[in-house]
C-alpha cells in the first residue's frame, strides 16, 4: 500500500471534517471508522496513519472508498497529524476522533445541530462514556457544563464528544504541535479565553476507550506535567488540587497498571 496521500471520495457538501490519527491501532480502527460513517450527516474523513506495521493497511483498504483522504507514513506526532487532516478538509465544522475511540449513534448529528442552532457558540461538547477494555466496564466520564474554576482543576470536556467551528479552529491555529498529551486541554482553554464559552450538551455522544497502551497510561507522569503547564499558562496559577491528587493520579495508578 502506498505511503503517500491518497484521495478516494468527493467530499463536496460535507458539513463536518474529521481527522482520525492512528498508529498501530488497527484492532480498533474499524470500529472508529464505522461509527463515523454510520452517522446520518455529511462528513469528510481524513485518516492520518503514522506508518503502522499492524493490520491497519487492511482496514484502510476496507474503508478507502469512503475516506476523503488518507496517508500512511511517519509524521511529527498526534497533534501535527490532526492539524494536517483538518487542513485538508473544507467543511465548516471540524474535529477529530482518535482511532481507539468511537461515536455513539446520532452523536455527531447532535453536536452539529447544537452548533447550527446557536451560532454564537465556538464549539460544542457532549457527555461520553469511559470504556475499560480489560473489564468491559463502561461508566459516564466526568463531563460538566463549562466553568473556568472547575476547568482549572480537571478537564471537564471529553475530546471524543467535541465539535468545533472551522473559523474558530483556524483563528486559533489548531492544536499546539509542541504538546503530546494535553493538546486537547490546551485547545479548550484557548477556545474559552479567545472565542467564547463552549456549549455543553447533556447527551451521551461518544465513547473513550481506556486500555493499557494509551499514552495517558504508559506515560502518566509526562501527561500530568504537561497538563499542569497548560493550567499555569491559561489560568495563571496551578490550583492545589493538582499537587494533592498527584500521588494517586500518577504514582499509585502507574503502580496499579504495572
Whether residue 74 is contained in a domain is answered as yes
Whether residue 232 is contained in a domain is answered as no
CA distances from 129 to 22, 36, 85, 233, 255 (A): 21, 16, 25, 29, 24
Whether residue 119 is contained in a domain is answered as no
Cell 472551522 sits on residue: 166
State pLDDT tens for residues 134-176: 887 889 999 999 999 999 999 999 999 999 999 999 999 999 9
User: Which three three-digit cell numbers place residue 8?
Assistant: 478516494
Whether residue 18 is contained in a domain is answered as yes
- Please tell me the distance from the alpha carbon of residue 189 to that of residue 191, in angstroms, as a whole number: 5
User: Which three three-digit cell numbers place residue 161?
Assistant: 464528544
| Residue 90: CATH number of its domain | 3.90.550.10
Burial-class residue 227 by CB neighbours within 10 Å (0-12, 13-18, 19+): buried
Query: DSSP string covering 171-193, please?
Result: HHTSS-TT-SSSHHHHHHHHHHH
- Please tell me the distance from the alpha carbon of residue 34 to that of residue 207, in angstroms, as a whole number: 13
100, pLDDT greater than 70: yes
Whether residue 205 is contained in a domain is answered as no
Whether residue 131 is contained in a domain is answered as no
State pLDDT tens for residues 203-241: 999 999 985 655 555 557 788 889 999 999 999 999 988
CA distances from 250 to 69, 80, 242 (A): 38, 26, 11
**pTM of the model as a whole:** 0.91
Whether residue 80 is contained in a domain is answered as yes
User: Which three three-digit cell numbers place residue 65?
Assistant: 472508498
> Where are any strands of DSSP class E within 116-233?
123-132, 138-140, 162-165, 199-210
Burial-class residue 92 by CB neighbours within 10 Å (0-12, 13-18, 19+): middle
Share of the chain above pLDDT 70, in %: 87
Domain boundaries, position 56: 1-100
Whether residue 72 is contained in a domain is answered as yes
Domains in the chain, number: 1
Mean pLDDT over 68-79 rounds to 95
Amino acid at each position: 500500500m502506498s505511503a503517500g496521500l491518497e484521495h478516494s471520495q468527493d467530499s463536496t457538501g460535507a458539513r463536518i471534517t474529521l481527522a482520525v490519527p492512528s498508529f498501530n491501532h488497527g484492532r480498533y480502527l474499524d470500529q472508529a471508522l464505522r461509527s463515523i460513517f454510520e452517522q446520518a450527516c455529511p462528513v469528510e474523513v481524513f485518516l492520518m496513519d503514522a506508518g503502522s506495521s499492524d493490520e491497519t493497511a487492511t482496514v484502510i483498504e476496507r474503508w478507502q472508498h469512503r475516506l476523503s483522504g488518507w496517508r500512511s507514513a511517519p509524521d511529527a506526532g498526534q497533534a501535527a497529524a490532526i492539524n494536517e487532516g483538518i487542513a485538508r478538509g473544507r467543511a465548516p465544522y471540524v474535529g477529530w476522533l482518535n482511532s481507539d475511540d468511537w461515536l455513539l449513534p446520532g452523536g455527531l448529528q447532535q453536536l452539529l445541530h447544537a452548533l447550527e442552532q446557536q451560532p454564537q457558540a465556538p464549539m460544542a461538547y457532549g457527555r461520553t462514556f469511559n470504556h475499560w477494555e480489560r473489564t468491559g466496564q463502561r461508566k459516564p466520564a466526568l463531563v460538566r457544563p463549562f466553568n473556568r474554576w472547575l476547568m482549572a482543576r480537571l478537564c471537564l470536556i471529553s475530546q471524543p464528544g467535541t465539535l468545533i467551528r472551522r473559523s474558530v479552529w483556524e483563528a486559533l491555529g489548531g492544536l499546539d504541535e509542541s504538546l503530546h498529551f494535553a493538546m486537547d486541554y490546551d485547545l479548550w482553554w484557548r477556545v474559552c479565553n479567545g472565542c467564547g464559552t463552549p456549549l455543553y450538551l447533556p447527551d451521551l455522544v461518544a465513547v473513550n476507550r481506556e486500555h493499557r497502551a494509551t499514552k495517558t497510561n504508559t506515560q502518566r507522569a509526562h501527561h500530568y506535567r504537561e497538563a499542569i503547564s497548560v493550567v499555569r499558562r491559561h489560568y495563571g496559577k496551578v490550583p492545589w488540587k493538582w499537587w494533592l491528587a498527584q500521588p494517586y493520579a500518577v504514582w499509585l495508578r502507574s503502580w496499579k497498571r504495572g
